[in-house]
Chain A
Amino acid sequence: MLILECPYCGVKAEETELHAGGEAHLTRHATGSTDDELKFYLFQRKNPKGVHFERWRHVNGCGKWFHAARCTMTLEVFGTYSAQTFEPPKALLSSIKAKRPDWQAT
């Protein structure tokens, strides 16, 4: 039962207000893409033991999608941030790096 702070309405929402949306920062591959690209877009998901970037929706709340960076082992939440971005904010990446020196962004 996680708690994630919605970056849009500022509510520290408990999991029953939220809807999980899977891996973040996927690139949509449409017409003209190769089968391999399509596979990675539709099916191939990261399943890291450690730092993971995810999509969540504050569905029983302001309705907004947002991103969360979370450790899948300890459930530590490194931060939540806007859905309108292609990559995690630089400051968040450095704070994760500071806490998990061995972690490599992939």
Chain B
Amino acid sequence: MSNVVSALQGVSADGYVEVQEMGLQGMLTLRGDLSMAKLAKAVKAAVGVEMPKQRKINLNGQTGAAWMSPDELLLIMPHAQATATAAKLTKALGKTHSLVANVSDARVVFTLSGKGAREVVAKLAPVDMQALKKGEIRRSRMAQVPAAFWLSGKDEITIVAFRSVATYVFDLLANAAAPGGEVDAY
């Protein structure tokens, strides 16, 4: 459908770090016992990656899986595939006690690009951004709302937040990335 829109429809801001809303991203919440082989197999079949370990995110191109808690994963895929993947996963899990929910539209995704990406996050989240490793997903808060983020490239961080506060998070990031705010502490 052509009138399917993300929260901020690709808005961006040029500061000393660039802030970009990434448009719609397919996302599923999977709740279940992550230690079960059956679950790992279903996840592999659905998004093509291994079961991520504690606080890890495994990405393979457009798809992937992120560890959200001991019984929750965030599965990532192109937006158009979310419904089909959810159905496929639900079917594969069958009677296994689990919950699959399409949360693609409940989210907003931003990237921060530039040398200061880490420090821009560190202005808003009580997290040691200097120590964040590649392949790690960190759930925390940004100012007054929950957010999750990971390093998605050299000097690039991807941030996921709730759709209803998309404008708030964008304004936060644009403000923190505004020229002149360079901390240069890392």
Residues in chain A within 8 A of chain B (CB atoms): 8-11, 14, 16-17, 60-64
Contacts and interface: CB of A to CB of B under 8 A. Distances in A.
* B-side interface mostly: strand
Interface size class of B (residues with CB under 8 A): 10 to 19
A17 B55 contact: no
18 contacts: A8-B69, A9-B54, A9-B69, A9-B70, A9-B139, A10-B54, A10-B55, A11-B55, A16-B141, A17-B126, A60-B140, A60-B141, A61-B139, A61-B140, A62-B70, A62-B72, A63-B69, A64-B70
B70 A8 contact: yes
Interface string B129-156: 0000000001111000010000000000
B69 A17 contact: no
A17 B54 contact: no
B101 to A, nearest CB: 15
Nearest to A9: B55
B45 to A, nearest CB: 25
A14 B69 contact: no
A16 B127 CA distance: 11
A14 B70 contact: no
A-B pairs with lowest CB-CB distance, top 3: A60-B141, A62-B69, A14-B126
Given A9-B54, A9-B69, A14-B126, 13 more contacts: A8-B69, A9-B55, A9-B70, A10-B55, A16-B141, A60-B141, A61-B140, A62-B69, A62-B70, A62-B72, A62-B139, A63-B72, A64-B70
Interface string B58-75: 000000000011101000
Nearest to B138: A11
A14 to B, nearest CB: 5
B126 to A, nearest CB: 5
B106 to A, nearest CB: 15
A48 to B, nearest CB: 29
